[in-house]
């Protein structure tokens, strides 16, 4: 069962990468209607409850963990609302290590069939439209830097994704 209300840890990108991703996301959303959300990669969650201690651990985590490069695996889509259209990310050793380090701060379901991706559109879109859209997007085969982590409050049933606090990685 999908938890649609809770807290997640997102990965965020430096301004240059964010701007590029936002340009692509705008092209996608001009064809596929979507709620508004920050460009991100979900790293961990959901957590049903958090406390100040966990937020302090995340702050220290940022100071002690390095930025990583995410290897892009191209555009893709599923017939799922929150994985409707996205940039697939390879589940590299560095990404697995970062997630494991976050797991050590506050346990969650580490083996929850994690599928790393950067969403470009949420929604229930027609398969044919998504296939057509991929062919019209610019080729995207560069790595993306993950430079921050963010604690996010999520209420998917209300289309609310609120970044509570973000922390730079060293």
Q: What percent of the chain has pLDDT over 70?
A: 96
Q: What is the pLDDT of residue 109?
A: 62
Q: Are 151 and 50 in contact (CB under 8 A)?
A: yes
Rounded CA-CA distance 98/70 in Å is 11
* pLDDT at position 111 over 80: no
Integer Rg of the chain from CA: 16
Reported residue count of the chain is 170
Give the tokens for residue 107.
């346990």
Find, among 25, 47, 36, the residue nearest to 120 by Cα.
25
Whether the upstream peptide bond of residue 46 has omega within 30° of 0, thus cis, is: yes
Band of the pLDDT at 11, cuts 50, 70, 90?
A: very high
pLDDT tens by residue, 118-154: 999 999 999 999 999 999 998 888 899 999 999 999 9
Query: What is the CB neighbour count within 10 angstroms for residue 124?
Result: 10
56 within 8 A of 63, measured Cβ to Cβ: no
pLDDT over 80 at 113, yes or no: no
DSSP string across 44-112? EEEES---HHHHHHHHHHHHHS--EEEPEEEEEE-SSGGGSEEEEE---HHHHHHHHHHHHHS---TTS
Per CATH, the number for 5-168 is 3.90.1140.10
Give the pLDDT of residue 141. Answer: 81
Mean pLDDT of the 152-161 span: 92
Q: What is the mean pLDDT of residues 67-92?
A: 96
Among residues 120, 115, 134, the alpha carbon closest in space to that of 86 is found at: 120
Mean pLDDT score, 95-114? 82
3 three-state secondary structure: coil
Per-domain residue ranges for the chain? Answer: 5-168
Q: Which helix (H) or strand (E) holds 12?
A: strand 5-12
> Would you say residue 34 has pLDDT above 80?
yes
Number of H helices, E strands in the chain: 4, 9
């Amino acid at each position: 069962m999908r938890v649609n209300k809770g807290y997640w840890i997102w990965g965020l990108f430096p301004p240059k990468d964010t701007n590029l991703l936002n340009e692509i996301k705008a092209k996608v959303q001009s064809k596929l209607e979507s709620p508004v959300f920050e460009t991100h990669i979900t790293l961990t969650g959901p957590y049903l409850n958090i406390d100040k201690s966990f937020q302090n651990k995340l702050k220290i985590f940022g100071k002690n963990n390095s930025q990583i490069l995410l290897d892009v695996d191209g555009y893709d889509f599923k017939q799922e609302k929150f994985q409707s259209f996205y940039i697939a990310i390879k589940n590299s050793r560095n990404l697995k290590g970062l997630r494991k380090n976050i797991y050590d701060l506050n346990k969650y379901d580490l083996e929850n069939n994690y599928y790393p991706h950067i969403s470009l559109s949420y929604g229930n879109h027609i398969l044919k439209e998504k296939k057509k859209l991929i062919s019209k997007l610019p080729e995207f085969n560069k790595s993306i830097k993950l430079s921050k982590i963010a604690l996010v409050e999520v209420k998917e049933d209300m289309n609310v994704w609120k970044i509570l606090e973000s922390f730079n990685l060293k």
